[in-house]
């Protein structure tokens, strides 16, 4: 199984944002069970910027990012994904890019807290809680 985590899930983990970080950490923990967990290359820059601004320190933000990248894979964002995101014509372009990356990577799920921002064509878009429920058979 492969999943793509949205930027908000990554930030929940790195910045320990309550009350979301526990479920987000469970999603990252799926890597130990053989699930491929990915974030898009475009998310990496967004996550770094927001973490640096929140923490007020470049070194701390970079250390958190390096730690995360030891666990999750980074999915490329090419012109193809950007053109697909433009064609999706969603209100939130960043979410459209995430979705296009998920399509390109052929993930089983896109995991986000903002499911309503994704107008899903064929990829299932779920919250962390929903994914945990699906995997546990609830």
pLDDT score for 119:
80
pLDDT score for 138:
60
What span, in angstroms and rounded, lies between the C-alpha atoms of 77 and 121? 19
pLDDT score for 32:
87
Nearest partner of 65 among 90, 46, 83, judged by Cα: 46
Let me know: does 45 contact 7? Beta carbons within 8 Å. no
What span, in angstroms and rounded, lies between the C-alpha atoms of 4 and 72? 10
pLDDT score for 122:
86
pLDDT score for 6:
95
Q: Over the chain (138 residues), what is each successive 10-residue block's mean pLDDT?
A: 96 95 93 93 95 95 94 96 95 94 96 88 91 85
Q: Where are the alpha helices (DSSP H) in 1-138?
A: 7-14, 21-29, 41-55, 58-69, 79-88, 93-105, 128-136
Q: In order of start, what are the domains of the chain with their CATH numbers?
A: 2-136 (3.40.50.1010)
10 three-class SS:
helix
137 φ/ψ sector (left φ>0, alpha ψ -120 to 50, else beta)? left
pLDDT score for 107:
97
What span, in angstroms and rounded, lies between the C-alpha atoms of 45 and 6? 13
What span, in angstroms and rounded, lies between the C-alpha atoms of 12 and 126? 16
């Amino acid at each position: 199984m492969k999943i793509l985590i949205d930027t908000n899930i990554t930030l929940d983990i790195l910045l320990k944002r309550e009350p979301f970080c526990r479920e987000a950490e469970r999603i990252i923990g799926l890597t130990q069970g053989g699930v491929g967990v990915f974030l898009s290359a475009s998310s990496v820059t967004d996550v770094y910027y927001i973490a640096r601004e929140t923490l007020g320190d470049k070194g701390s933000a970079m250390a958190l990012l390096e730690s995360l990248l030891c666990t999750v894979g980074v999915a490329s964002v090419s012109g193809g994904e950007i053109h697909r995101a433009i064609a999706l014509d969603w209100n939130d372009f960043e979410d459209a890019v995430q979705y296009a990356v998920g399509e390109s990577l052929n993930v089983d799920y896109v995991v986000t807290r903002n499911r309503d921002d994704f107008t899903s064509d064929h990829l299932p878009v779920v919250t962390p809680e929903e994914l945990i429920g699906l995997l546990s058979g609830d």
